[in-house]
Amino acid sequence: MITRVTTMEELKQLFVETLLNKTDKVTKVANQSILSGVAYGSAKIAQKAMKDIALVESHLFPEFAYGSHLDATASRFGISDRFGSAKSSTYVRVVGTPGTAYIAGTHTFLGGGQTFDLLEDATIGSIGYAYLPIRSQFSGSAAMIESFQIDTVSPIPVGHEYAVNEYRTVGGRDLEQDDLFRNRIMQGANLAATGTLEGLSQAFMKLNSSVLRVDYQGINSNSQPVLAVASVTGVDFTTGELNILKDRALEYLNLIDLNYLGGLPNIEIKNIEYSPIDVSFRVALDPSIVADSVRKSIQIALGKHIDWRYWNPGDRVEWDDLLQIVKDVRGVRYVPDQFFTPNADMPIDPTTLPRFRGFVMMDLEGALLSSSVSTFNPSFYPNDPDENFNTTALSSI
């Protein structure tokens, strides 16, 4: 605090000292005397003035504010209001026989002392597993559950084997406390430093929580900038969803990306394309392990190795990394590299993301153990929405 609120006794002594320095008519000020009362009265007025000055300073300098004064400071600085409590969410991986159905409103998932609602109906496909979006029933930091703790579904559908959350939940929080709110206010200037593409990515995430990343892919034949959007589960967005993103992004585009006549978005938004990776290999398995379980574990491990969140255009898929992942899966005893495909590093088109598609697992004699051809494996990678940016710069959405 720049202004130091002085005690009554100090202010009274300052008054008496000044009085004695300016007149020789008074030699001392006794307690309970008239001059003592005047000194106390002046000290009280000065202290109240200091208090009001300090309150004004707290509105200008958030590091000194607290409570309702901190709320007023945020409003003056253009920072979003104090965050309230919120529910957490994530995706849970369910494994079961193809055709196993999970119904929103009927099936719930439990783990870490919390109950999570299924957000949409889903059915396990031919791959044998799927990723389902869930959200906690209760708000607060207690709804933040670590990975691998959500493992129960109720009621258990026919064909269900097990469920697990590979990533911790996100979004759950209590009412924002003063220290966190104060730090967010002091970091508010960083909002202006958010790049155009990152700002659009955050806007798209707020409009559709399934958006994972947005890539710029140059100019099309109509001289329009092209933005490719990827989802957290790899499922393509519908035409309607893409149109919503395009229409609502209007106010976050620069002048070059607007139609100078009608003020309409002069951009193309499309689903990102994928470069398929087909894997084939021979393997010796532990006889005590079910081959189908090993297949699912290998597919999941391969999918997590190619993390779209951190994939950069120009990166390549290294085949020896894929071979090592297969060897490290529980239940795998031996994988001969001469039968492993791909057997060379794969360059990936810069405008696409790599994704595993074909999967053929054979025994050492070449007999088919399991196959999955021309069907993209389910995947999930969590996005990273900036709550402060969303509620401040994107408050109009």
Q: How far is CA 87 from the centre of its chain?
A: 13
Per-residue pLDDT, 88 = 92
d(CA 238, CA 224): 21
Q: Which of 139-153, 211-225, 379-393 has the lowest mean pLDDT?
A: 379-393
Q: 386 Cβ partners below 8 Å, 6+ apart?
A: 194, 202
Per-residue pLDDT, 373 = 66
Average the pLDDT over 130-153 and give the result. 93
**152 neighbors 109 (Cβ within 8 angstroms):** yes
Residue 56, Cβ neighbours under 10 Å: how many? 11
pLDDT in tens, 172-205: 888 888 887 877 777 666 555 555 778 788 888 8
**Mean of all residue pLDDT scores within the chain:** 85
d(CA 250, CA 267): 10
Average the pLDDT over 88-114 and give the result. 94
pLDDT in tens, 288-306: 998 988 998 999 999 899 9
d(CA 283, CA 287): 12
Query: Does 252 have pLDDT greater than 90?
Result: no
Per-residue pLDDT, 12 = 82
Length of the chain measured in residues = 397
For 194-271, CATH number out of 3.30.300, 3.30.70, 1.10.8, 3.90.1720 equals 3.30.300
Average the pLDDT over 341-345 and give the result. 94
Tokens coding 247: 């229409």
Full-model pTM: 0.73
d(CA 90, CA 143): 11
Average the pLDDT over 367-388 and give the result. 80
Beta strands in 194-241 (DSSP E): 211-219, 225-231
Rounding to the nearest 10 degrees, give the CA dihedral for residues 190, 192, 193, 199: 110
- Type and span of the H or E element at 263: none
Query: Does 157 have pLDDT greater than 70?
Result: yes
pLDDT in tens, 30-82: 777 887 888 888 888 888 888 877 777 766 677 677 777 788 777 777 777 78
Per-residue pLDDT, 193 = 54
pLDDT confidence tier of residue 107, bands split at 50, 70 and 90: very high
> If you search the block for the tokens 């060379």, which residue do you land on?
344
Q: How far is CA 141 from the centre of its chain?
A: 15
Query: Does 83 have pLDDT greater than 90?
Result: no
d(CA 56, CA 75): 14
Tokens coding 192: 């202006």
∠ CA(185), CA(191), CA(194), 5° rounding?
A: 160
Alpha carbon separation from 232 to 90, 360, 393 (Å, rounded): 11, 25, 23
d(CA 280, CA 361): 6
d(CA 21, CA 13): 12
